[in-house]
Structure formats: C-alpha cells, structure tokens
C-alpha cells in the first residue's frame, strides 16, 4: 500500500476501535477523527501532546517512548511539549504518518496495544482524569466576517436593509487583526469587560460594564505551514497550509463596539477574550464531509478562485445555561456549509499583500449564521438586538448574556455509524471588575 491509500484507510467508515467508547456514533472522537491536543493528568502534571479516542487520550510521548510511534523527521522529541507547534512544523507528511500509525494501532483487530494491559496503562489517560490546555502557541490571530447571512442581518439591523451588504463584502473576505494574547481554551472563565458606552439619551459616553455581551459562533483554522514575507499563498494551494480546525467563540461587547468601531473597526469590544475548543480536528479527518460552497456572485477576482468543493458539512449548536439551571437551552443550530467565503479564500486574501503567516496562527471564520431565525450565530441576531428575547427551558429570557451564564459551542460531522466532532467550546461569564 502507498501513503495515500494508507491515509484513505483511516477514513474507512467501517473501521472500529478496541477503545469501545470510540464506537458510539454520538461520541465526537471516533477512530476516524483522531484530533490533536495538549493535556496534563492527575498522576503526571507535565503538559504533553495527545490524541482523543472515545473517552480516552493517547499520550503520544509515552507511545513514542514505547517504540510504537515512529517519526522520520530529524526532530523527533516533539510530543513531550506544552504546545503542538513543533509537531505541526514537521509538515503534512509527518501529520499524516502519525495519523496512519495511530489508526492502525487503535483498530479493533490490532492486538499490539490492545492486549498489553501494562502498556495501555502508560499510554491511555481517561479524558475525565485529564486537564486540557491551549493546544498551540498562537503568534497571530485574525477574525473574518464571511457569513453572508450574518453580514446581511447586521447590515439590515443598523443600516438600510435594501443595502445591507457594503459594496466590498461580495468582492473579498473582510477581516481584521485580533489579539492572540487573549485566546483561551474552553473552560476558562471570561470576565465581562468594561469600556466606553454611548447611551442614546446622553451627549457624551459613560464608562461601565458591557450591557450587551454576546457570543459569535465561529470555527477557526490553524496554520500548519507558513509563508515567507512577500510571498502570497495561492488559493489553490491554501488548504495544504492548514493543519486543522477548532470551534471558536469570539466574545463580543456589542455596545462598546457600536461606539468605538468607527472608523477603524472593533478594538476593546473584541480584545478581552476569544475561546477555542482544545482539540484540533485535521482537514484529513474532515475530508469525507467536504461539500460545495455557496455560489459566489459576482465571480471573485482571479486570485480568489479555486476549483472543486471547499466547504464542510459541520453541524453547529450553541447552548446557554444560567448559573442555577440544571440543564442548558439550545439557542441556535446551523452549519458551516453556509459560509460564503472559504478558508482557502480567506488565507489567499490574507497573504495576497505579502503578509506572512506562521505555524500556529489562528484564523476565525467570523460569525456563522444560516438562513432561518433559529440558525443565527449570535444573540444580536437571535434576539434582533434585544427586541425579541429568547425563552429558556427552565423559565426566564435572555436578550444578551448575563453574569453566571455558561455558553457552549458544539460541532460535529455525522458519518455512517461514527462522528467526527470537536468537543465543547465553553465559557462562563464572571462579573466585571468594579
């Protein structure tokens, strides 16, 4: 078998694992998935690289030490690290080699690890006994604005609905450079920001806590191969530069943003926190769920054109759980396939000026909204700027996020008897500083 056929075998929908929890069709971490992350454990608090499989984590450093995981690259000590960056920097052939080896080792009919209880005890860590960390060092973070439905909703809300999209929106992926320093991993509490607020009945702004705190349901992609300064990434080649995807919540202080965004765009309204899921799902794992992107009209300029299908059928949900509630309310359901601008187009546009990217750079999709009222990716849209409050399962309503609320993003691709999911991307809001 050659490398490509070995890789294709990892996507076989009939493949099952001896880690039985991975065979549950509702478990995010099937053997077809094998996402990468960084974890520590109760019995060993050193951070290291792992791969999720069912309810377990495979400790890649321990697996390599046992001689069951081979790297052909000269730099092989990349798994006993607190980020994935050094592993990612080894390149796509290495990522794929590790995926192929893990898929074979974890397959139901492979006895090497399955039947060695002592080795399993060293290599497998229950996710319930582990702490998950930010998976990569992020040199730079960019957030795009690439959902046509979202941009139309916001434009209709604050401008003339007949001209909801500005002239440039349909010509290029709109984006802005965010703050990499405030990207946090799922489960990290998020403090309500303070800032300037311009109230409609007052001439000058006041200073205080955000009153319209919101989520932005997004995905993000992680750069796996950078480009040199002055050398753009061609749209046709862009996906080869992407290591994988995460869920991303770019928390937004709507009232702070409304006052500050003219003329240069979001600043403090977005810099206080961006939450990502801890597991990075590779593009190889997502390949069976590739679908056509929406038709783009007008046709993009030449540097933004690519052939084939470049969207993915990823189901997305948002839940909200008030502090004292026993269960969460699902407030939105949508799909990544609605995105107008693709990841490849985003990266091509980002670098067309000659901007360089680096391993670990994070690119946010922008809020992902669908065509129906319950598929909007923000409370701003779901409640139409607070004018149509949402009713929650256990009583009460929400126009925007209140202190103590926990917001969770979920995402998965559903295969035939298996799931390729991202795990949770969650954050609880704590009160602003007085």
Residue-wise pLDDT tens digits, 251-286: 999 999 999 999 999 999 999 999 999 999 999 999
Task: Determine the pLDDT at residue 1.
Answer: 47
Spatial separation of the C-alpha atoms in residues 136 and 138, rounded to whole Å = 6
Spatial separation of the C-alpha atoms in residues 167 and 164, rounded to whole Å = 9
First to last CA, the chain: 64
pLDDT tens digits, 51-95: 999 999 999 999 999 999 999 876 779 999 999 999 999 999 999
- The gap from C-alpha 99 to its chain's centroid, in whole angstroms, comes to 20
What is the longest distance spanned by two Cα atoms in the chain? Answer: 73
Cβ-in-10-Å burial (0-12, 13-18, 19+) of 292 comes to exposed
Residue spans of the domains in the chain: they are 3-133, 141-430
Task: Determine the pLDDT at residue 43.
Answer: 81
Mean pLDDT of the chain: 96
Cβ-in-10-Å burial (0-12, 13-18, 19+) of 318 comes to buried
Give the residue-averaged pLDDT of 316-334: 97
Task: Determine the pLDDT at residue 42.
Answer: 85
Task: Determine the pLDDT at residue 74.
Answer: 65
Contact yes or no for 407/348 (Cβ under 8 A): no
CB neighbour burial string for 19-38, b if at least 16 within 10 angstroms, e if fewer? beebbeeebbbbbbbbbbbb
Beta bridge partners of residue 245, listed in sequence order:
221, 281
Contact yes or no for 216/365 (Cβ under 8 A): no
Kindly tell me if the per-residue pLDDT of 402 is higher than 70. Answer: yes
pLDDT tens digits, 363-388: 999 999 999 999 999 999 999 999 99
Q: How many helices (H) and strands (E) does the chain have?
A: 12, 27
By DSSP bridging, strand 183-185 and strand 274-276 are parallel
Task: State the catalytic residue, choosing from 133, 137, 150, 310.
Answer: 150
Name the least confident of 62-76, 133-147, 386-400. 62-76
Global confidence as pTM: 0.97
Spatial CB neighbours of 334, under 8 Å, sequence gap ≥ 6: 217, 316, 368, 369, 370, 375, 376, 377
pLDDT tens digits, 199-217: 999 999 999 999 999 999 9
Spatial separation of the C-alpha atoms in residues 376 and 389, rounded to whole Å = 14
Token readout for 95 is 């990522």
pLDDT class for 20, splitting at 50, 70, 90?
very high
CATH architecture classification, 3-133: Roll (2.30)
Kindly tell me if the per-residue pLDDT of 108 is higher than 60. Answer: yes
The CATH fold of domain 141-430: Fumarylacetoacetate hydrolase; domain 2 (3.90.850)
pLDDT class for 357, splitting at 50, 70, 90?
very high
Task: Determine the pLDDT at residue 91.
Answer: 96
Give the residue-averaged pLDDT of 296-306: 97
Token readout for 277 is 């899921």
Backbone φ and ψ for 428, nearest 5 degrees, come out as -105, 140
Task: Give the count of beta carbons closer than 10 Å to the beta carbon of residue 154.
Answer: 20
- The gap from C-alpha 36 to its chain's centroid, in whole angstroms, comes to 13
338 noted as active-site residue:
no
């Amino acid at each position: 078998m050659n490398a490509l056929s070995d890789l294709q075998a990892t996507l076989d929908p009939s493949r099952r694992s001896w880690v039985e929890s991975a065979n549950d069709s509702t478990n995010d971490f099937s053997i077809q998935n094998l996402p990468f992350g960084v974890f520590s454990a109760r019995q060993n608090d050193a951070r290291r690289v792992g791969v999720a499989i069912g309810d377990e984590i495979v400790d890649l450093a321990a697996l390599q030490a046992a001689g069951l995981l081979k790297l052909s690259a000269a730099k092989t000590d990349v798994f006993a690290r607190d980020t994935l960056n050094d592993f990612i920097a080894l390149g796509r052939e290495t990522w794929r080699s590790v995926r192929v080896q893990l898929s074979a080792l974890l397959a139901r009919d492979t006895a090497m690890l399955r039947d060695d209880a002592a080795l399993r005890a060293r290599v497998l860590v229950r996710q319930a006994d582990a702490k998950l960390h930010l998976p990569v060092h992020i040199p730079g973070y960019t957030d795009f604005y690439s959902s046509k439905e979202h941009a139309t909703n916001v434009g209709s809300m604050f401008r003339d609905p007949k001209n909801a999209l500005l002239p440039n929106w349909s010509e290029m992926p709109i984006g802005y450079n965010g703050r990499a320093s405030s990207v946090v991993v799922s489960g990290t509490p998020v403090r309500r920001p303070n800032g300037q607020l311009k109230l409609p009945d007052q001439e000058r702004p006041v200073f205080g806590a955000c009153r319209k705190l919101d989520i932005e349901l997004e995905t993000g992609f992680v750069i796996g191969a950078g480009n040199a300064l002055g050398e753009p990434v061609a749209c046709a080649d862009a996906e080869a530069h992407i290591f994988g995807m995460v869920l991303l919540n770019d928390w937004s202080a709507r009232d702070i943003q409304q006052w500050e965004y003219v003329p240069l765009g979001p600043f403090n309204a977005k810099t206080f926190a961006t939450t990502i899921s801890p597991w990075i799902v590779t593009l190889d794992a997502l390949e069976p769920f590739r679908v056509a992107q929406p038709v783009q009209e007008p046709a993009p300029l030449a540097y933004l054109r690519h052939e084939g299908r470049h969207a993915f059928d990823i189901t997305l949900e948002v839940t909200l759980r008030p502090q004292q509630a026993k269960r969460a309310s699902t407030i939105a359901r949508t799909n990544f396939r609605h995105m107008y601008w693709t990841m490849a187009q985003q990266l091509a546009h980002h670098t067309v000026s000659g901007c360089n990217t680096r391993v670990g750079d994070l690119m946010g999709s922008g809020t992902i909204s669908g065509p129906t009222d319950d598929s909007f990716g923000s409370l701003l849209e779901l409640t139409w700027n607070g004018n149509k409050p949402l009713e929650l399962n256990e009583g009460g309503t929400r126009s925007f996020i209140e202190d103590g609320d926990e917001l969770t993003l979920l995402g998965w691709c559903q295969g035939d008897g298996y799931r390729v999911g991202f795990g949770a991307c969650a954050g609880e809001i704590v009160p602003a500083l007085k």
